[in-house]
A and B are shown apart, each in its own frame.
Chain A
Amino acid sequence: MSALTKLMISPHIHSGKSTSGIMGDVLIALLPATIAGTVIFGWRALLVIAVCIICSVGFEAIFNLIVKKEQTVGDLSAAVTGLLLALNLPVDVPLWQCAVGSLFAIIVVKCLFGGIGANLVNPAITARVFMLVAFGSMAVPSFPVDSVSSATPLSAEEMPGLLDLFLGRHGGAIGETCVAALLIGGIYLLVRRVISWQIPVVFLGTVFLFSLFMEGFDAVSALSLLMSGGVFIGAIFMATDYTTSPYTPWGKVIFGLGAGLLTCLIRYFGTYPEGVSFAILFMNILNPYICKWTKRKVFTAGGDKE
């Protein structure tokens, strides 16, 4: 008799796509914003990024060791969380706060809920909101801090010009100011089919149209508001997080619309000058319901009832 071979249920081939590949693509897509942030805000930006990434990856590794879970840092998702958190912080944030923020993102938001794929809300966004509440102004790029990271345009008296906004030559968090770099990353993710267009386009479109209306149809003002604050980094990189955003096409549209509306409502009527993080966090919580409401109709529907 010939040698025995493996018995297995089909399929016997795989696309080759992997979680680490996807996360690697997100890291690549964030590279332009990382470089732009370093050029605009100086070498300390790299220090903040390094601390956040090392802490995020380290905390996840330690957590897995303690609870004796299989090591998951190889999937690169902790590195993505660390990088995203850093890019959402002002350049002069104390490094110990970076460590605490990473701890919150990785341990509280991600690992305690079951690790990758099981968290209800986006770790980086939630950590940013946590730092805003816990450390007050220090973590909030939207308030005047010092000469290096001055106020974001949303709270400044004078708006920078559109070109400066596009290139990121103004105050704000390390990775959020350079719209050009974020767009390059977004296009990369679209081309690589890591994300789909619905969430970013609807999110950005909603913010633009709402601002246009509120600014009395002044397109320049509306564009300025769209390009300031964290709308681009939020719409492209944070709101598109797989685990905490809908996977149905219409769900993505609703998610983008809701996040855009909430961002504007907070900006115009809330007490905080910036609302992107809160808006995404709120939509994260609605995500399971949005998925449920927007289920695709099964092709074979309408058959005999059993």
Chain B
Amino acid sequence: MGSYLLGIHTPHRKGTKDSPVERLSDVKTVMIPMSMHIGKPATPVVKVGDMVKIGTKIGEADGKVSSDIYASISGKVTKLTDYLLATGKTTTAVIIEADGENAVDEAVAPPVISDRDSFIEAVKKSGIVGLGGAGFPTHVKLDVPTEKIEYLIVNGAECEPYVTSDSVNMLTRADDMAAALKALNKYLGVKKVIIGVEKGNKKVVSAMQSLASSLTELEVKVSVLPDKYPQGGEKVMVYHTTGRKIAANKLPIDVGCIVLNSTTVAQIGSFLKTGMPLTEKLVTVDGAAVTKPQNVIAPIGTPVNVLFDFCGGLKEDPAKIIYGGPMMGITVPNADVPVLKNTNAVLALSEKEAKLPKTTACIRCGACVNTCPFSLAPVNIAEAYSKEDTDELKALSVQSCMECGCCSFVCPANRPLVQINKLSKKLLADNAAKEGSK
């Protein structure tokens, strides 16, 4: 296999790694948006006044690339409201007020599976989407011709600073993962599994190695990855575990691979065992503004400020609140936003932590070029963008950028490089749309 792709050494700041996981019970109110996945938003199937229980379907998938959504607490639907998503789009959110019963819906029962199609249907019913952050509906990913699947790659890389939720899930839910892998073997014919974990994450490496040796019906290998960011990027993961390169506009399945996040795998396993759809999430709550950073299991829809209160409250007014890690995470306007299906961490950064250096002139040091995992040239992309030179932007393959942010992180002039890459992609997409409508 070839050498590893470039990347960066980020600070780890994974202080929550060994802290005990606590479950957040008696949440008073949850707000559950109908769009917590890539694809069409779900259609609300409840109305104000309806009583729901844990696991009651409240949103029906709209078409194939969409996902079912379930109530995460028992209580009464009090409101259907507009909710502004981080993408700038608005969706409906269902607000449920708890009745304190914590009752589980009678319909929750282990799925009956007989073949491939019923397995994929069960995954669809589980409401599971890519839990690593992207939120792509998992049943769509699995719905490919079985003969095309050569490798199932379990993405156990957790390269973002602070975030430890996937690691904790791998340590505590290995049996769920085993159940999922067995089912994937039985119904989708998956024969080879590679679990990718960073070298420095030693406990998880050994936990995954014992999981691998406990599964006799299929070949499971643990691939130890370098301690560099970004290992979790899908194309990076496939290259580092199999040596296969995925070209622009191609998917892992085009090189015979399906990549699933480790928590997604665990979630499939627990759904197969219990029939409980995705209603709660283990979330890393961290950042210097948080009094007692830790991992918390919270119902989906829990307001972030409830999580902060649970973790001893905030020591100071946070400068930034982030969904996910600090390299690719999304800032939110306040702490009223809910925990989503694909929320793996919520960070409250202190003023000091969030302080970024001033942007100065580019000195053409090439640090961006020499850290880009995909060998792009952010310095040249920025020049082309300033001239709105779309031909040059295409020639520089800016569409391939996975937006990992290494370039901006290393830039000694702190230039907004990945940010310009995103704008460049938008410019090309807008231009293509204009061309199309002509």
A residues in contact (CB < 8 Å) with B: 1-19, 21-22, 72, 75, 77, 115-118, 242-243, 246-249, 295-304, 306
Contacts and interface: CB of A to CB of B under 8 A. Distances in A.
Interface string B307-338: 00000000001111110001111111111100
Given A117-B362, A300-B246, A11 B333 contact: no
Contact of B365 (A8, A75, A242, A296): A242
Contacts of B413: 18-19, 117
Contacts of A3: 317, 334
Contacts of B394: 306
Interface string B413-431: 1101011001000000000
B400 A300 contact: yes
B211 to A, nearest CB: 30
B329 A10 contact: yes
Contact of B360 (A19, A298, A301): A19
Nearest to B373: A299
Contacts of A16: 357
Given A15-B409, A15-B410, A247-B370, A295 B377 contact: yes
Contact of B374 (A8, A248, A299, A302): A299
Interface of B: 5, 8, 10-11, 161, 235, 239, 245-250, 305, 317-322, 326-336, 349, 353-354, 356-357, 360-367, 369-370, 373-377, 379, 394, 397, 400, 403, 405, 408-414, 416, 418-419, 422, 432
A117 B361 CA distance: 7
Contact of A247 (B318, B329, B365): B365
A17 B410 CA distance: 7
State the majority secondary structure of interface residues on B.
loop
A298 B365 contact: no
11 contacts: A7-B332, A10-B328, A10-B329, A17-B367, A117-B364, A248-B366, A295-B377, A298-B400, A299-B245, A302-B247, A303-B249
A6 B320 contact: yes
Nearest to A11: B405
Nearest to B416: A9
A65 to B, nearest CB: 17
Given A247-B366, A300-B235, A301-B397, A8 B375 contact: no
Nearest to A6: B320
Contact of A301 (B248, B318, B319, B361): B248
A18 B375 contact: no
Contacts of B405: 10-11
Given A8-B320, A300-B235, A248 B363 contact: no
Contacts of A7: 331-333
Given A2-B336, A299-B5, A12 B320 contact: yes
A1 to B, nearest CB: 6
Given A5-B331, A299-B400, A304 B250 contact: yes
Given A2-B334, A5-B320, A13 B409 contact: yes
A14 B333 CA distance: 21
A243 B412 CA distance: 13
B245 A11 contact: no
Contact of A75 (B321, B360, B379): B360
A282 to B, nearest CB: 18
A29 to B, nearest CB: 16
A228 B422 CA distance: 50
B190 to A, nearest CB: 26
State the majority secondary structure of interface residues on A.
loop
Contacts of A77: 363
A299 B375 contact: yes
A303 B364 contact: no
A24 B411 CA distance: 16
A157 B414 CA distance: 52
A141 B8 CA distance: 44
Contacts of B409: 11, 13-15
A10 B161 CA distance: 13
Nearest to A3: B317
A10 B8 CA distance: 15
Contact of A19 (B321, B334, B412): B412
A13 B326 contact: yes
A77 B362 CA distance: 13
A300 B367 CA distance: 20
A304 B364 contact: no
Contacts of B161: 13
The 4 closest A-B pairs by CB, nearest first: A247-B366, A303-B247, A303-B248, A11-B405
Nearest to A252: B366
A247 B374 contact: no
B235 A11 contact: no
A4 B334 contact: yes
Nearest to A116: B361
A115 B361 contact: yes
Contact of A10 (B326, B333, B410): B326
A248 B335 CA distance: 44
B235 A9 contact: no
